[in-house]
């Protein structure tokens, strides 16, 4: 009850001092002293700045197209090699080389010079890049191919013929004459 009388006294003092603003202040103070608080300050509704539905749909479609293009660019070893050669030195770390063998990665990162990488980047035929990655020589002019490790499964035919002739005495070992 004491708060009620205090509010009335304050209201009379403000009313004597201020006019209409004082009445508004008195009303808010009185309502604030009632149980349950009273009404708070009502904020004017702000207009939300949401993007247009068509713009959001276009952005979503564009992102999906970029994702499909990136998947296509990295879908085969020759495309990965071309993307790596065409990228700047800073961006090359972002290209995954998982489709390439260790020899092909070594060929790209270590063996090729900057000028040879420019030649590889300017190559239009994925078929030629695939052949160079497979180890075929002279596929791309001015560009060495991936070195291929020769597997030796056994002696060549010429070695077997020489061994056969040596065992049967048909051919004698070469004699070195001074």
What tokens appear for 106 in the block? 């070594």
Domains held by the chain: number: 1
What is the mean pLDDT of the segment spanning 51-75? 87
Q: What is the pLDDT of residue 78?
A: 92
Q: What percent of the chain has a predicted confidence (pLDDT) above 90?
A: 22
What tokens appear for 119 in the block? 């030649």
Q: By CB neighbour count within 10 A (0-12 exposed, 13-18 middle, 19+ buried), where does 103 fall?
A: middle
90 contacts: CB under 8 Å, gap ≥ 6 = none
For residue 33, name the pLDDT band (cuts at 50, 70, 90).
low
Q: Indicate the range of 13-22, 45-54, 58-67 predicted with least confidence.
A: 13-22
Q: Indicate the range of 4-8, 16-20, 46-50, 156-160 predicted with least confidence.
A: 16-20
Determine contact, residues 33/3, Cβ cutoff 8 Å.
yes
What is the domain extent for residue 113? 57-148
Provide the mean pLDDT of the chain: 79
Residue 164 resides in a domain: no
Residue 102 resides in a domain: yes
Dist CA 106 CA 146 (whole Å):
9
pLDDT surpassing 80 at residue 30: no
Dist CA 92 CA 72 (whole Å):
17
Residue 21 resides in a domain: no
Dist CA 67 CA 74 (whole Å):
11
Residue 116 resides in a domain: yes
Determine contact, residues 46/40, Cβ cutoff 8 Å.
no
Residue 44 resides in a domain: no
Residue 141 resides in a domain: yes
Q: What is the pTM (predicted TM-score) of this model?
A: 0.50
Residue 17 resides in a domain: no
């Amino acid at each position: 009850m004491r708060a009620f009388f205090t509010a009335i006294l304050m209201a009379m003092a403000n009313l004597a001092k201020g006019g209409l603003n004082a009445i508004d202040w008195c009303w808010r103070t009185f309502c604030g002293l009632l149980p349950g608080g009273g009404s708070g300050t009502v904020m004017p509704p702000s207009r939300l700045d949401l993007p247009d539905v068509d713009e959001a749909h276009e952005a979503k479609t564009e992102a999906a197209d970029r994702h499909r293009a990136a998947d296509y660019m990295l879908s085969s070893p020759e495309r990965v090699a071309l993307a790596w050669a065409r990228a700047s030195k800073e961006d090359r770390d972002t290209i995954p080389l998982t489709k390439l063998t260790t020899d092909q990665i070594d060929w790209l990162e270590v063996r090729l010079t900057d000028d040879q990488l420019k030649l590889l980047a300017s190559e239009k035929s994925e078929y030629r890049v695939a052949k160079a990655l497979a180890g075929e020589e002279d596929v791309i002019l001015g560009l060495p191919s991936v070195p291929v490790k020769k597997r030796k499964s056994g002696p060549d035919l010429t070695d077997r013929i020489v061994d056969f002739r040596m065992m049967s005495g048909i051919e004698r070992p070469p004699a070195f004459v001074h």
